[in-house]
A and B are shown apart, each in its own frame.
Chain A
Amino acid sequence: MQIPASTETSAESTLPKAILRSGRGFRLGYTLTSWLGLLPFLLFCLLFELLPAFVIIQGSFADSNSGSFTVNNFQRLLAGISYIHAFQNSISLSLVTALIGAVFGFFAAYGVYNSRANWLRNLLVGFSSIAANFAGVPLAFAFVSTLGVTGFVTVLLHNIFHINLYDAGFSLYTFWGLVLAYVYFQLPLMVLLTVPALSALKPEWREAATNLGASNATYWRRIALPVLMPSLIAAMMLLFANAFGAFATAYALAQGNINLVTIQIAFAVNGNVDFDTGLGNALAVGMIVVLLLAVTLYTAMLRRVSVWQGR
């Protein structure tokens, strides 16, 4: 997440030194090789990010059958109550899981940051890297076999404590069940994103604050949180995007029973009835718009991060 957005002034101050030190030819050679290294990545971006985005936007304004220009796809999207619900569900699912992930992830990361035991820190970070990437069908089945109707935990609670989760109103196959599954990969991702941000907190700041008579709470309220907040919000936006684009976990868990935008797109392009690429594209454009908002907030926050953390 930390794209070093170095400020103008620092770039200017380092530039002349570099020229003095290395001379013109070397610099040119350096830029050439770095461009060559970048080329495959740029090509990748063009082929798999920009072109598809362009094709999707173009396709959303084309009739599914004739291909002529139309705004009908968007009209159908706005008229279909289940599509609007899909956006509501996707956005609230992503917000809720991002918020839960961010809060608990932050505390976990702070624990990692504070722990003197190196092995514990390594263990937690290592576990987080694995768990953050554990998603999709395996994750869904892991939850089914623990918290499903016949899941291990469900049966255990029933047999030992005589609590029937499903009679008590809990169901894994609902919105909140899915929230639980998503938090499984959101929380560790937050840990991974927050640990580096925490190390930007300089011990001197705390010492200075204590010297000036600040309590622990004051230090957090006036110094640590304001410094960390942009990083935390930026991380949260990444979590939001992460959840918003997810499909496999939700589909594997409850098929179409939880109405999400990604699932609606799957039905539009891979459904029983004719496949309706126009509508699928329009839904995808809707997702792009939502994600653009999240990314805008993310980059704005990153700019603030660089001010405070001197990066």
Chain B
Amino acid sequence: MSNQELFNDFFASRSRRRFLEQAGALGISSVALASFLEACGSSATTTTTTGGSVNMAGPIDMQTLITNAKKEGKLEAVGIPPEWADYKDILDGYAAKYVPIDYQAEAEFSSAQELEVFTKSKSHAHGDIGDVGFKFGPQAMQQGLVTPYKHAHWADVPDNLKDPNGNWCTEYYGTQAFVINTDIVKTPPTSFKDLLSGNYKNQVGIDGDPRQANDAFIAVYSAALAQSGTIDDIQPGIDFFKQLKQKGNFTSARANIANMTKGEVAIGIMWDYLGLGFRDSLKGKPNLKVVIPSDGSIAGPYVSIVNKTAPHPFAARLWVEYLFSDEGQLFFLKGYAHPARYQKLVDAGKVPADLAAKLPAAEQYTNVKFVTDLAKLSKASATLTQNWPSVIGQ
């Protein structure tokens, strides 16, 4: 969005608001008043439109959504990078079917920056929907920045992955995987136990220092799950890496694309979508295989949120419906992010065979666990910061 457009927009919404304000004050139109209140971010969840009374907390039937979204004219997406999780196809699909999307200005925003946009939106309505890391969902709710909306496939999403009131809902997740260089590793490990018992000298690496990088942190946490069977304590994971280091299997080299290409890290523990992306971009030099460890894999979910003061409330809800539709969810999968309704889609046989062939088998995902208790996460993080130095002998 160019500056000129921003400028025009700003005045357009200001003048519309002023008009509604005056109309409302004169008591001319209750319809206008209600939508004015919605635009100003009132907590009202029910609004009246030309089509009658609509429960804005959803679900809303597609026809109402489409008609009203077309009236609003567009969608403002925040933090939706087209190159991530195949958002490109989702953006194109939505724009082709419904209304155009403004997304480029804020496409690369981080979760924290997205919430900042929603906060600013209180004084000047801007930004309809966002895509944030799991812990930012509850945070946005606490700060009163989001509005609840339950889409048509609400029941398909596991309870621990959504807010019971509909304020945020997991759209897709990545999970910890072994990315294995099969040119070097002849007997690929399938579990954390294998890593410890097999002869993988100097071959196993993680993606960064777990005290700093979330990917590596969840790798240690997954090892804890594998060792103890629970996600209550990360310490068994720390002990696991201590043993792995003593055995000589754990390398200090980072499991990034350079070291994976070189073979310096022959077994990288990292997000599955990263590994699958590496595999595709390296095209067999070397050959990489992605396996979800059978005894422990923890996922990192991303949640969808709707701005409480969204300038285009119907277009925003239509976006949510599109994300959770079969089409939207399969686009996520095409981008190697496992959609929230993955198991349902698999059960219904809706995953195309050519796409499924590119992914680890669906059974490998049945044991994937989610750490949704934020208190547990911060406790694990504190334990790790304190005890990780003992693994690397500091």
Q: Which residues on A are within 8 Å of B, measured CB to CB?
A: 82, 85, 141, 144-145, 148-151, 166, 171, 173, 252-257, 259, 266-267, 270-273
- Given A148-B264, A255-B208, answer yes or no on A272-B381 (Cβ-Cβ < 8 Å): yes
Question: Which single residue of chain B is at the shortest CB-CB distance from A89?
Answer: B394
A259 and B253 within 8 A (CB):
no
The contact string, 1 if C-beta is below 8 Å from chain A, for chain B 213-235, is 11001000000000000000000
Q: Using Cβ atoms and an 8 Å threshold, which residues of chain A touch B392? A: 256-257, 259
Shortest distance from the beta carbon of B211 to any chain A beta carbon, whole Å:
5
Question: Which single residue of chain B is at the shortest CB-CB distance from A167?
Answer: B201
Task: Let me know if B305 is at the binding interface, CB within 8 A.
Answer: no
Task: Let me know if B372 is at the binding interface, CB within 8 A.
Answer: no
Which of the residues A150, A166, A266, A271 comes within 8 Å of B385, measured between beta carbons?
A: A271
A272 and B384 within 8 A (CB):
yes
Which of the residues A148, A266, A273 comes within 8 Å of B253, measured between beta carbons?
A: A148
Q: Is the interface of B mostly helix, strand, loop or mixed?
A: loop
Q: Using Cβ atoms and an 8 Å threshold, which residues of chain A touch B158? A: none
The segment from B97-105, B255-263, B345-353, B357-365 found at the interface with A is B255-263
Q: Using Cβ atoms and an 8 Å threshold, which residues of chain B touch A85? A: 394
11 new A-B pairs (CB below 8 Å) besides A144-B259, A254-B252, A256-B211?
A144-B253, A148-B253, A149-B203, A150-B184, A173-B253, A253-B252, A255-B209, A255-B252, A256-B388, A267-B212, A271-B212
Q: Which residues on B are within 8 Å of A, measured CB to CB?
A: 184, 201-203, 208-214, 217, 251-254, 258-259, 262-264, 266, 378, 381-382, 384-385, 388-389, 392, 394
A272 and B389 within 8 A (CB):
no
Q: Using Cβ atoms and an 8 Å threshold, which residues of chain B touch A259? A: 389, 392, 394
Shortest distance from the beta carbon of A264 to any chain B beta carbon, whole Å:
10
Which of the residues A173, A266, A271, A273 comes within 8 Å of B252, measured between beta carbons?
A: A173
Q: Is the interface of A mostly helix, strand, loop or mixed?
A: loop
Shortest distance from the beta carbon of B56 to any chain A beta carbon, whole Å:
36
Shortest distance from the beta carbon of B152 to any chain A beta carbon, whole Å:
37
- Given A82-B394, A144-B264, A256-B212, answer yes or no on A272-B254 (Cβ-Cβ < 8 Å): no
Q: Using Cβ atoms and an 8 Å threshold, which residues of chain A touch B258? A: 141, 144
Question: Which single residue of chain A is at the shortest CB-CB distance from B389?
Answer: A82
- Given A148-B253, A254-B252, answer yes or no on A272-B394 (Cβ-Cβ < 8 Å): no
A149 and B389 within 8 A (CB):
no
Complex-state Cα separation, A275 to B394, whole angstroms: 21
Complex-state Cα separation, A255 to B256, whole angstroms: 12
> Which are the 4 A-B pairs with shortest beta-carbon distances?
A173-B252, A256-B209, A257-B252, A255-B209
Shortest distance from the beta carbon of B213 to any chain A beta carbon, whole Å:
8
Shortest distance from the beta carbon of A93 to any chain B beta carbon, whole Å:
14
Q: Using Cβ atoms and an 8 Å threshold, which residues of chain A touch B254? A: 252, 255
- Given A149-B251, A254-B252, A255-B208, answer yes or no on A273-B385 (Cβ-Cβ < 8 Å): yes
Q: Using Cβ atoms and an 8 Å threshold, which residues of chain A touch B210? A: 272
Q: Using Cβ atoms and an 8 Å threshold, which residues of chain A touch B211? A: 256, 267, 271-272
Complex-state Cα separation, A34 to B253, whole angstroms: 51
Shortest distance from the beta carbon of B253 to any chain A beta carbon, whole Å:
6
A273 and B262 within 8 A (CB):
no
Shortest distance from the beta carbon of B375 to any chain A beta carbon, whole Å:
14
In the complex, 16 of the A-B residue pairs with CB atoms within 8 angstroms, ordered by the A residue number, are A82-B389, A144-B259, A144-B262, A145-B262, A148-B259, A149-B253, A150-B263, A151-B264, A255-B209, A256-B211, A257-B252, A259-B392, A271-B385, A272-B210, A272-B211, A273-B381
Complex-state Cα separation, A171 to B378, whole angstroms: 34
